[in-house]
Amino acid sequence: MSVHFCVETDRAGCVATEDYHHGDDVHIFYGLRTNGDHLLHNGFVPREDNPNDRFKLKLGLTKTEKHFDTRMAVLRAIGLNPTETFELAPTATPIPVELIRFAKVFVADDLVDVDSLEVVAKAWQFIRDRLNLLLKGHEAAKVAKLDASAASANQKNVLTLLEGEKKILNNAYQFAAAKVQEMLNNSNAAITTDLK
C-alpha cells in the first residue's frame, strides 16, 4: 500500500501495490508516534497499546529556593537545565536516567555528594510521590469526567489518550515504588549487618 497526495483533488489517496480481496485487512504505517502525536496529526488514537507512547513529565527548580544557583550549576554540569521535561515510557524501565539525576539534585541537602545512598533513596521517594500525585489528579480530574458509552468519536479519542497516559504513569509509579522498597530492604539489611 502506497499513500500519495493528489494536488488536483486536494486529497490523499492509497494505491495498492499488491492484490487485495474483499474483506482483507489493510494496514497503514503512520510512523513511530506517541498517542498524542497520532491524535494531533492523524485525528485518532490507536486503540491497542502503543510502545512508542510517552508521558511528558515537567519538573523544575523553584527560583526562590535559597540554593537555586548552586543546584542550577550542578544540573548544568551534568547536562540538565533547571526546568526539564522527561519522557516516561510504557516499558520495563519507564523512568529515564536523566530524571533520576535531576531528582537527586532536587532533593539533596548536600550537593557535594548527590550519589550517596541517602540521596538516591530520597530521589526515588520523590519520583514515586510525584507520580502518585499525578495519578490521583489524573484519575479525578480527567478520566472520571468522560462517560465512554455516551461519548462522541473525539471524546473517545481523548478517553483513549488519557487511559494510555494513566497506564504509563501507573507503570512508572510501580517501578519507582519497587525501587524505594529495594532501597529500604538494602538499608535494613545494612543496619542489621551493622548490628551483628
* β 55-60/11-15 pair status: unpaired
Q: Which of 49, 40, 47 lies closest to 170, judged by CA?
A: 49
Confidence class for position 193, pLDDT limits 50, 70, 90? very low
pLDDT for 196 equals 38
CA angle 94, 99, 100 (to 5 degrees): 95
Distance between CA atoms of residues 122 and 169, nearest Å: 19
Is the pLDDT confidence value at 60 over 70?
yes
Grid coordinates given for 74: 550542578
Inter-residue contact 163 to 45 (CB < 8 Å):
no
User: How many residues in the chain?
Assistant: 196
pLDDT for 34 equals 96
Instruction: Compute CA distances 136 → 62, 68, 86, whole Å.
Output: 23, 29, 19
| Domains of the chain, earliest start first | 54-195 (3.90.1420.10)
Hey, which residues does 14 pair with through a beta bridge? 3
Grid coordinates given for 87: 519522557
pLDDT in tens, 8-28: 999 888 888 888 899 998 877
